[in-house]
Chain A
């Protein structure tokens, strides 16, 4: 079965540079979530999109922005990179349930960003 696809898998940037991560959700999934996971930490929620509209916002720095496109893929744009931005960035997708059900989240393999 198709899974969540993230690219690139690895990315090395210098301080103050910009980076863009891409996420392709599972086909027919309408919701995308971005998470940041530091070494030895749990994933921290950054932002989510439902049907191309931002649906929730977590601890995402102002230097970061994201959007979901008409084909449901999403991009996370990170500017003025700092050493502390080095982390694994995960995208997850789900199919919003009908009624009051919460859809299961399926995660990609992540993009490892290293800021030097």
Chain B
């Protein structure tokens, strides 16, 4: 089955700096790669996603890149703000059932 590895497990940046979180996946059949932000005691919130027919996608301060050959994808947050502090999860799925397999999560801390 699919296995998703996520790094780093914790990331601390200064406000205004950029943050990058990286994930690798094992199943070449995976074709959908969402990123979720989870605040304490809340459910994961979808912030951006990318499908395998696209190499890059951007939404304001957030961008995601996908390298299908290397089986890795990354989340880039620019001009970080304290409210970006949360746990971020990458995930992968394929067409069969749509279930998501999550990475281990990255705890991002943005210091004012």
Distance in angstroms between the alpha carbons of A52 and B90 in the assembled complex: 28
Instruction: Verify B46–A45 contact, CB threshold 8 A.
Output: no
Chain B's interface size range is 20 to 34
Chain B hits for A72, CB < 8 A: none
Does A74 interact with chain B (Cβ within 8 Å)?
A: no
Secondary structure class of chain B's binding surface, majority of residues: loop
**Contact A48 B102, CB 8 Å, known A105-B34, A110-B42:** no
Chain A hits for B112, CB < 8 A: none
Distance in angstroms between the alpha carbons of A95 and B51 in the assembled complex: 16
Instruction: Verify A45–B101 contact, CB threshold 8 A.
Output: yes
Chain A's interface size range is 20 to 34
Chain A hits for B41, CB < 8 A: 112
Distance in angstroms between the alpha carbons of A100 and B105 in the assembled complex: 28
Chain B hits for A17, CB < 8 A: none
Does B18 interact with chain A (Cβ within 8 Å)?
A: no
Does B60 interact with chain A (Cβ within 8 Å)?
A: no
Chain B hits for A41, CB < 8 A: 104-105
Chain B hits for A42, CB < 8 A: 89, 102-105
Instruction: Verify B97–A105 contact, CB threshold 8 A.
Output: no
0/1 string, B28-62, CB within 8 A of A gives 1: 00011010100001111110010100000000000
Contact residues of A with B, CB < 8 Å? 4, 31, 33, 41-45, 48, 50, 55-56, 58, 90, 92, 94, 96, 100-110, 112
Closest 5 A/B residue pairs (Cβ): A107-B43, A56-B97, A42-B102, A102-B32, A109-B43
